[in-house]
Amino acid sequence: MAITYRQAGVDIEEANTLIDRIKPLAMATKTQHVLEGIGGFAGLCSLPGGMAEPTLVSGTDGVGTKLKVAFATGRHDTIGQDLVAMCINDIITTGATPLFFLDYFGTGHLSADVGAAVVKGIADGCQLSECALLGGETAELPGMYADGEYDLAGFAVGVVDKAKILGADRVQVGDVLIGIGSTGIHSNGYSLARRVLEGEMKLEMDAQLDGLEGTLGDVLLTPTRIYVKAVKKLQAALGDSLHALCHNTGGGLVENLPRVLPEGVDALLDGLQPWPEIFRVIRRGGPVELDEMRRTFNLGVGMVALVGAEEADEAIKALSAAGEKAWRLGSIVEGNEGEPAAIAYHNDPEESPS
């Protein structure tokens, strides 16, 4: 008897079923710049007008071991938003407007139900980002992944006028750091979080803990917040007084803030706020040292805006109107000339574990 592709582990009919189910999800994200619908060999997207020097901005990322929480709970409808957020939140730090997103979904045995749930989350993330899900790739790779598991990767493209690119060259002494709240762990540090919660504390995903809303699985699967609309409000309100944006991902403020600071300045963090409870649970449950927490997690700060001092109140007002938790996190002070920026924590309410 002749061997078929399906006997080798690849089910083309299941893949076609998935494609039929995700087409309307992708179409719902279509923007005015998309030239062709999904289904061809490539996606087409035009550039918006009105820019003197339109400059493309790109970013790529994955979701990391947060996927393990999705596998453990059997919930796959939000992890796609995490994928979009990790890429989109990076490219908007330049001041760029997102244009489109592409995804890669690889699994050992394709389930149309799981695949459609994942892509629904991706489409939801694209709608929150006001960009198009322009296409993607679904790969069924027998033997490559454990049963019931998959991997995700994403790629985003945006555009910004060259003269309006945000970054370290705009930052100066006296600027104010505006913290913008996270929705929890987002998509970084899950290897440490799971080592503590599942390993040291022996917790199941359906565990109910004091101070947490919902089960442990609910809290860990809370999607990464997407800051596109908030940043657009900030740009409209501040104009050139918005100097830089920092996406606070893996490495925390310790490693991410210096990426948008010039030499010769330091960041003084004197407006730190109490952490969301999940971080306290992890710190106590390890235990995990404070410095390790700071260099692993966002600790409640998902994004930081660096603005002119005279516009700090207006920035907080604009972000609050966009539905964000925003506050004065700190300021830019003089550092050592010619040396990389340092981050100084001052009056941190989490210095002593509670």
Q: Which residue type is seen at 199? A: G
Could you read off the pLDDT tens digit of each residue along the chain, which spans 354 residues? 787 667 667 667 887 888 888 888 888 888 888 887 555 788 888 899 889 999 999 999 999 999 999 999 999 999 999 999 999 999 999 999 999 999 999 999 999 999 999 999 999 999 999 999 999 999 999 999 999 999 999 999 999 999 999 999 999 999 999 999 999 999 999 999 999 999 999 999 999 999 999 999 999 999 999 999 999 999 999 999 999 999 999 999 999 999 999 999 999 999 999 999 999 999 999 999 999 999 999 999 999 999 999 999 999 999 999 999 999 999 999 998 888 899 999 988 998 655
Do the Cβ atoms of 139 and 104 come closer than 8 Å?
Answer: yes
Q: Is beta strand 132-140 parallel, antiparallel or unpaired with respect to 97-107?
A: parallel
Q: Which residue type is seen at 202? A: K
Q: Which long-range contacts (CB under 8 A, 24 or more apart) does 6-14 make?
A: 8/142, 9/108, 9/109, 9/140, 9/142, 9/143, 10/110, 10/140, 10/142, 11/109, 11/110, 11/140, 14/110, 14/111, 14/112, 14/140
Do the Cβ atoms of 234 and 317 come closer than 8 Å?
Answer: no
Q: Which two tokens stand for residue 209?
A: 């803990």
Which DSSP symbol is given to 43?
-
Do the Cβ atoms of 33 and 46 come closer than 8 Å?
Answer: yes
User: Structural domains in the chain?
Assistant: 12-41+49-164 (3.30.1330.10), 168-345 (3.90.650.10)
In the block, tokens 């705009």 appear at 170
Sequence-ordered strand ranges (E) for 109-241? 132-140, 150-161, 176-181
Do the Cβ atoms of 175 and 332 come closer than 8 Å?
Answer: yes
Round to whole Å and give the CA distance between 266 and 268.
Answer: 6
Round to whole Å and give the CA distance between 43 and 156.
Answer: 13
Selection from 92, 34, 33 nearest residue 59 by Cα: 92
Q: How many residues does the chain have?
A: 354
Give the predicted TM-score (pTM) of the model: 0.94
Do the Cβ atoms of 121 and 81 come closer than 8 Å?
Answer: yes
Strand partners, 106: 139, 151
Give the CB-side neighbour count of residue 162, counting CA atoms within 13 A: 4
CB contact burial 290-301 (16+ within 10 A = b; e otherwise): eeebbbbbbbbb
Q: Which two tokens stand for residue 150?
A: 């998959």
For residue 287, report the phi and psi dihedrals to the nearest 5 degrees. Answer: -70, 160
Round to whole Å and give the CA distance between 133 and 119.
Answer: 10
